[in-house]
Amino acid sequence: MFQHWTNKKRLLLGLFFLLVVDLLWVGSSELTEFLFKNTDYNKPFFTTYVKTTIFTLYLSGFICRKSWRQRCHCSMVYQSQAELSKILSDPVYVPINDDDGYSSIDSSDNEAVGPRVDSLADRRVRFNDHMEVRVMSEADAEEANLARLPYELFLRAQEERARVRRKYSVPVICKLAVIFCGLWFLANFSYQEALLQTEAGVVNILSSLSGLFTLILAAIWSSGPADKFTLSKLFAVLFSAGGTVMICLSDMSLEPVPIGAIWSVVGSLAYALYLVTLKRKVPDEGKLDIPMFFGFVGLFNMLLLWPGLLILHFTQLETFILPTPLQWLLLVINGLIGTMLSELLWLWGCFLTSSLLATLALGLVSPLTMLFDIFIKKVTYSWMFYAGMVPVIFSFVAITVLSHYHNWDPVLIGFKKFTKCITRLLQSAKLREMDSDVTSQLLSSQPADFYSS
């Protein structure tokens, strides 16, 4: 859809998607907090399972969109004459109605008349009384209809078909969904579990490590120039992590909770692996139908992960209890808006920008959530919150610029200039020292009477 856009337009649209996702995640976090605390339904595995299952609504596209159904089978464009008989139905003989009123003669009559015919009007051909009809399949009949179109319309139709055929087929998308459904579920479940085990501030601090993980993994498995490792990106990621620490320290009391910290790190690593690996597997977003992909992710999660509900229930780690109507309503709303729509826009934003920028967009959720508390809940924060917002926003803008200018590394350039200045200063100091040594040697080598004279 956006593959013909310029890099600048793609970057701006991707930024818009990521900012919208941040707003949706703020609302989703508020709904999750209300569901866990106010309605006393703290079931992270079940809530993640339900929200992931809602992804299957995307599979309704097979009913609404013809292009999705066409990708369920592969039609051959060029077929031999021997193969042509296989794509036609069995012959059906239909009687011919002779409405011309001519008294035509068949081949036997032609032999009787002889080779000469006196007038053109007497020349008649008598066909058989029945004609043979074979029905062509819809996919092959489309080729025949294209051949009858005017040239300009034929070119347009070919471009549209080429665009459809460039996309991955349904089996390929199913294979990708099977690979990534586990990573996606692990990342979301880890975040939910970490929220139950420790404070949100600790979770947000450790979740900021996903930017560092993404930077390292993208450098190892690079999928494009935007994933190139630079010192400027490393500085921006560390600067953003420092701002996140300041923001979270302004509204938390640090308590050592190792289990929640481990879940946070696992979730950060799973998010980074999910984004970097998917971006490498699908370098061009035009080939992947993202709604279809998420639809199969939801389907495979629903079919493969339901035994986890039974295991957690019988081990008493998470007792299964059916939600009340209010809890179901909150779950469905959160799944439709906070998961189904936001994840679609987030993955689009990742493809349009870079995996690192999409990961750093997660760091904006904490300050936006606290701004929501300031203006809606009238909560006050210390100066550390406002001071921490500066590096977070600055790092996001810096990574945006660096994603557009792939080969620009201002930190490396500044470091090289700094080292050159230091080298020049050291060299000049060494030269001055050498000059002083030479001068002292010359003075010491002069005869004593020279000074006396």
The dihedral through the CA atoms of 46, 50, 55, 59 has a sign that is positive
Kindly report, residue by residue over 216-239, the tens digit of the pLDDT: 787 777 666 666 778 888 888 888
- Per-residue pLDDT, 74: 46
- Per-residue pLDDT, 296: 93
Mean pLDDT by 10 residues, the chain (453 residues): 68 86 82 82 89 91 79 47 51 63 44 48 60 66 69 68 67 89 86 72 66 78 70 82 72 56 81 84 79 92 91 89 91 89 87 80 73 73 75 78 75 85 85 76 62 50
Kindly report, residue by residue over 315-360, the tens digit of the pLDDT: 988 888 889 999 999 999 999 988 889 888 988 888 888 777 887 7
Residue with tokens 């309704």: 60
- Per-residue pLDDT, 380: 73
- Per-residue pLDDT, 77: 38
- Per-residue pLDDT, 204: 64
Separation CA 277–CA 103 (nearest Å):
76
3-state SS of the chain: helix, strand, coil percent to 5? 75, 0, 25
Write the secondary structure of the chain as one string of H (helix), E (strand) and C (coil): CCCCCCHHHHHHHHHHHHHHHHHHHHHHHHHHHHHHHHCCCCCHHHHHHHHHHHHHHHHHHHHHCHHHHHCCCCCCCCCCHHHHCCCECCCEEEECCCCCCCCCCCHHHHHHHCCCCCCHHHCCCCCCCEEEECCECHHHHHHHHHHCCCHHHHHHHHHHHHHHHHCCCHHHHHHHHHHHHHHHHHHHHHHHHHHHHCCHHHHHHHHCHHHHHHHHHHHHCCCCHHHCCCHHHHHHHHHHHHHHHHHHHCCCCCCCCHHHHHHHHHHHHHHHHHHHHHHHHCCCHHHCCHHHHHHHHHHHHHHHCHHHHHHHHHCCCCCCCCCCHHHHHHHHHHHHHHHHHHHHHHHHHHHHCCHHHHHHHHHHHHHHHHHHHHHCCCCCCCHHHHHHHHHHHHHHHHHHHHHHCCCCCHHHHHHHHHHHHHHHHHHHHHHHHHHHHHHHHHHHHCCHHHHHC
- Per-residue pLDDT, 339: 87
Token pair recorded at residue 127: 């066909």
